[in-house]
Structure 1
């Protein structure tokens, strides 16, 4: 087994977080230069483009960003004419968000850039290892968002604090 000094901790969640944060940090300036947006801004843009008519609350929930960060990102995207908002006909306090043509174009540029950068990120992996990693991450993602996972956590918490 290889000894790796990259990680100061062997916990899986720590290692996943470090890999993600390092890749995001390394790529963020590239995205800013090529698209005018940071990675988290592009995530919000993509979510709005995928679900036109989505709301601020839905974006905040899906991204996990705090409300003030979500609000700043949305205001920046509106200010850059990448998204637009309109009042809901059902509730005037709610704004429905959608992507502008310019936003759709920026999303496509970001997608092509993301594809190229992901190739660089996964360069040390064989095609078989990359497929396995994607399969494993899909299964873990399904698991941590499942009711069974939350029930298992609840049982673990209850048994350790009784």
Structure 2
């Protein structure tokens, strides 16, 4: 397809961004209105709940968010005592972020609503289509990361 024939609505990065924003905004209602959490803060809570203590660098890799976004989200969560910080055992410049018991309770309160919103968003897809969609998204992500890594060498 030539550049002059490319329509924005057919451009993959645009479609992915718009879809991601729409889904994230919808699901964020589950934790923003009740708990006052922003999308990056909820992502950190979910990752820390799933992965356990993590460094900010590990969270950047895991979430795809930049360092500044991770840092701001971590500061906001620490201020609310939803996470704690512990020194890194090998790197004095780094520390681990750890979900506090209050953060664990918040996750347990919010996660069911987030899962329900996901079900609503995916309701028009069959179970097989959901599996294919998630697989395709992972493959697109892996391809983009490979190109980034190849360019940085």
Residue of structure 1 equivalent to 2:118 = 118
**Pairwise CA distance, 1:116:** 0.2
* Structure-2 separation of matches of 1:124 and 1:15: 18
* Structure-1 separation of matches of 2:67 and 2:139: 29
Alpha-carbon distance change, 127 to 94 in structure 1, aligned in 2, over 3 angstroms: closer
**Runs ≥4 in structure 1, deviation > 6 angstroms?**
none
The normalised TM-score by structure 1 is 0.74
Bigger Cα displacement from structure 2, 94-103 vs 42-51: 42-51
Aligned residues between the structures: 145
The normalised TM-score by structure 2 is 0.77
Matched, 1:47 2:30: no
* Structure-1 separation of matches of 2:139 and 2:96: 32
* Structure-2 separation of matches of 1:70 and 1:109: 22
Residue by residue over 1:74-115, the C-alpha shift from the partner in whole angstroms, topping out at 9 and shown as x without a partner, is: 011111111101222433332221111111122222321111
Partner SS, residue 96 of structure 2: strand
Bigger Cα displacement from structure 2, 93-102 vs 131-140: 131-140
Structure with a larger share of its residues in helix: 2
Residue of structure 2 equivalent to 1:33 = 33
Residue of structure 2 equivalent to 1:129 = 129
Residue of structure 2 equivalent to 1:4 = none
* Structure-1 separation of matches of 2:73 and 2:148: 30
Matched, 1:143 2:151: no
**Pairwise CA distance, 1:73:** 0.6
Larger gyration radius, structure 1 or structure 2: 1
Task: Say whether the 8 Å CA contact 2:40–2:69 is kept in structure 1.
Answer: no
**Pairwise CA distance, 1:121:** 0.7
* Structure-2 separation of matches of 1:145 and 1:73: 24
Structure 1 unmatched ranges of 5 or more: 1-6, 155-162
Structure 2 unmatched ranges of 5 or more: 1-6
